[in-house]
Amino acid sequence: MVRSTVLAAALVFACLAGQVAADTHDTDSAVLQADEITHDSQTGITTALGSVTLTTRGYVLEADSLVYDRPGDRVMASGNVVVVDSGGQTLHSDHMEVTGDLREGVIEGIRLLLSDGARLAASRAERSDGRITVMERAVYSPCELCPDDPDALPLWQLKAKSVTHDEEARDITYRDVTLEVFGIPVAYSPLFSHPDPTVERRTGFLVPDYGRSSTLGAYVSVPYYVELSPARDLTVTPTITRDEGPILAAEYRELMASGDVMVDGSVVRAKARHNSAHLKGGRDTRWHVNANGIWMADSSTHIGADVHRASDDSYLSRFGISDEDTLVSDAFVEYFDGRSYSAASGYLYQGLRPIDDPGQIPLVAPLVTYSYLTPPSKTGSSASVDASLLVLTRSDGTDSRRFSTGFAWQAPFLTADGQHFRTRLSMRGDAYHASDVPLDDRKQSGFASRFIPEALIEWRYPFARMSGASHQFFEPMAMVVWSPNGGNPRKIPNEDGQDFEFDEVNLFSTNRFPGLDRVEGGLRINYGLRLGQYSHDFGRYELFLGQAWRARDDSTFDESQGLSGHFSDYVGRLQINPFPYFDMLYRFRMSDEFKSLYRSELGVNVGTDDANFQVSYVRLDEETDPVIYPLTERAQVNTSAMFRLIDNWTLKGNWRGDVEKGDSIVYGSTLAYQDECVELSLSGERRFTRTMDYSPETVVIFRIRLATLG
């Protein structure tokens, strides 16, 4: 950074005086070479003339002449003076004179090339009182000079009447400083100060942020950082907007020996609006808060909490803070003991979608879990025990209390010809007390229980061969699972099994439902085939295709979910990577007769670091979830592209659209320039989301960052 330049000048004094102060004839401290070296024993003055080179402890000095006055404790170098330190910094000067104790010194006509390529020039640099370095008429720039015209002005530079570095206070102060772009002054400050590089943190203003959007209008944010202690800090950020007034945001951080805490939030007195986004007069207080912390009581016990809340449904999206549609707050304590784990937690949700009913949003507290896995035996078998307790309540809706415990034993087996077998036996019991469970046109409360024994055997038989430079892979696999039918009594509410999707990832799961409230039952067989070819010259190709069969239809699954009949839909994955600059992944679910595609997910990445194109396509067929609500057919495309243009220019673009409706969701582009001394970008984005008081928005942002200045 630019503040390191003054410190670099101080290092020059160190290399000249601190090491040369030792006797120049002491070869352990310094080596002096020249065309002619004379020493006057009466005056104690050593003079070196012609091609002088002084090497001392990581520094090399070259000059036309050097005079060392030992009684006067002064070193003088003149004529084409060059100093190179071990860090790669190079200093050129016409003349320099320093004392051996570093408290005094002068460098005339200083020109400094820093290790990061930046350049600093000053007419004079002077050190006094052993701690203060002053540079007069200083010019600084990190921009590279034009090879064809080294005398041409750099893209930008700083000019200051004086620059002072106080090593004791660790401050760098500029007086009468001007920022020039192509030699034209564009900004001026009579006084500017900041900490030197040895200071990691200090109270003060941070770099401001400027922007403009069609929702907030023009705005400016000026963060102010407060160092509370070496392990605590606070950043307060007031933002002035044209259309919504001032916004106050803050962030607090604390790092402790046993954990950490972070809290951030914002508040604004915004214009009051109806959900239609029309003004209704007056102002409303709107806010948000995010907090998280974790403490380690000891090496085995962790305690933590997360808080995420907002004043209303649209505040986060309208003010560009977050696009989350559900906020989750939780608190937990967990304990690790060898191969066992136990935890107690609680969850509080806030729904931000227009369809969310606060009375239907549950409070989960407590949720207690325990699990234990035995060490594997000599044959590889192991056993596990799991237990959980859940209490879920609503202010208006179904309440549920569940206790579940289970035991499982499994063992692997490998045949001599390479076949892999795995057997597993388990027993699980669940006890429920639920109230206001909707059953047809009425609600029912009471106890319910179930016992679920389960047995499975899994088989895999991998084959591999080498064919020239290619490696082929072929692996059939199957899993036979049995458990009783009818494992989902209607009295048991479905709270944690609603987010269900049948795909190749969970094809070989014994229970494809997340959570414990819903289980699969009956005799069923899952089977699939994995094929692959891998070659250094021709890339990588891999295909997986699988299906499930069950002895009896299961009404637990809706017909649209692909698992209700005897034969399930096919699920699969195709991955193609023929050469380093092309990747394609296609995931799908199709009917058991290969006639209809119910889900398609395609991702393609083409290009290099200089030109890249990405596209993803997702299509989901119409789905009816009896627990949630019908989901209509939907398809969405995401695209992004990047092109590195000439002379450090980069162009990026993105578009996301709804294929079924033929509408755009968001699109934008960014034109950016970056070199060693400046970063410029102009970006624009159009968002078409419309919900409650959040309307389609256009955002245009121009950013400029001068290298080393922030």
One-character DSSP codes across 681-706: EEEEEEE---BTTB--EEEEEEEEEE
Band of pLDDT at residue 131, cut at 50, 70 and 90: low
Q: What is the CATH number of the domain that holds 117?
A: 2.60.450.10
Whether 279 is in a domain gets the answer no
Question: Is a pLDDT exceeding 50 seen at residue 14?
Answer: no
Band of pLDDT at residue 653, cut at 50, 70 and 90: very high
Question: Is a pLDDT exceeding 80 seen at residue 510?
Answer: yes
Whether 522 is in a domain gets the answer no
Residue 173's CB: how many other CB atoms inside 10 A?
Answer: 18
C-alpha 534/C-alpha 544 separation (Å) is 15
Q: What is the pLDDT of residue 677?
A: 83
The three-class DSSP label of residue 17 is helix
Q: What is the pLDDT of residue 626?
A: 43
Question: Is a pLDDT exceeding 80 seen at residue 512?
Answer: yes
Q: What is the pLDDT of residue 29?
A: 63
- What secondary structure letter does DSSP report for 567? B
Domain that holds residue 188: 4-199
Whether 190 is in a domain gets the answer yes
Question: Quick one: average pLDDT of 302-307?
Answer: 97
Q: Residue 158 — φ and ψ, nearest 5°?
A: -105, 135
Bridge partner residues of 66 (DSSP): 48, 77
Contact 699, 689 (CB under 8 A): no
Residue 221's CB: how many other CB atoms inside 10 A?
Answer: 17
C-alpha 95/C-alpha 82 separation (Å) is 10
Q: What is the pLDDT of residue 103?
A: 66
- What secondary structure letter does DSSP report for 153? P
Residue 318's CB: how many other CB atoms inside 10 A?
Answer: 22
Residue 670's CB: how many other CB atoms inside 10 A?
Answer: 17
Band of pLDDT at residue 276, cut at 50, 70 and 90: low
Spacing of C-alpha 71 from chain mean position = 60
Residue with tokens 């207080």: 285
Q: What is the DSSP string of 388-415?
A: EEEEEE-SSS-EEEEEEEEEEEEEEEE-
Question: Is a pLDDT exceeding 90 seen at residue 309?
Answer: yes
Band of pLDDT at residue 709, cut at 50, 70 and 90: low
C-alpha 541/C-alpha 62 separation (Å) is 62
Question: Is a pLDDT exceeding 60 seen at residue 469?
Answer: yes
Lowest mean pLDDT among 168-172, 269-273, 455-459: 168-172
Contact 383, 374 (CB under 8 A): yes
C-alpha 112/C-alpha 145 separation (Å) is 14
Q: What is the pLDDT of residue 115?
A: 64
In 3-state terms the chain splits into helix, strand, coil percentages (rounded to 5) of 5, 65, 35
Contact 55, 102 (CB under 8 A): no
Question: Quick one: average pLDDT of 683-701?
Answer: 81
For the whole model, what pTM was predicted? 0.79
Whether 10 is in a domain gets the answer yes
Q: What is the pLDDT of residue 196?
A: 66
How many domains does the structure of the chain reveal?
1
Q: What is the pLDDT of residue 7?
A: 44
Whether 280 is in a domain gets the answer no
Residue 146's CB: how many other CB atoms inside 10 A?
Answer: 12
Band of pLDDT at residue 632, cut at 50, 70 and 90: low
C-alpha 525/C-alpha 552 separation (Å) is 12
Q: Residue 561 — φ and ψ, nearest 5°?
A: -90, -5
Whether 12 is in a domain gets the answer yes
Residues in Cβ contact with 121 at an 8 Å cutoff, skipping those fewer than 6 apart = 110, 111, 112, 138, 139, 140
The three-class DSSP label of residue 598 is strand
- Mean pLDDT of the residues in the chain: 86
Q: What is the pLDDT of residue 638?
A: 95
Question: At residue 491, what is the residue type?
Answer: K
E strands, 151-183, are: 156-166, 171-181
Q: pLDDT digit string (tens) for 404-422? A: 999 999 999 999 999 999 9
User: Which of 508, 513, 521 has its CA nearest to residue 479?
Assistant: 508
Q: pLDDT digit string (tens) for 547-594? A: 999 998 877 887 778 888 889 999 999 999 998 899 999 999 998 888
Whether 126 is in a domain gets the answer yes
Band of pLDDT at residue 290, cut at 50, 70 and 90: very high
Task: Output the CA angle 461-462-463, nearest 5 degrees.
Answer: 120
Contact 504, 544 (CB under 8 A): yes
Q: Please give the span between the terminal C-alpha atoms of the chain, in angstroms, as a whole number.
A: 8
The tokens of 424 are what?
A: 């597993």
Q: pLDDT digit string (tens) for 52-108? A: 998 876 778 899 998 988 888 888 889 998 888 776 778 888 898 877 555 678 888
Q: Residue 528 — φ and ψ, nearest 5°?
A: -165, 175
Whether 169 is in a domain gets the answer yes
Question: Is a pLDDT exceeding 90 seen at residue 672?
Answer: yes
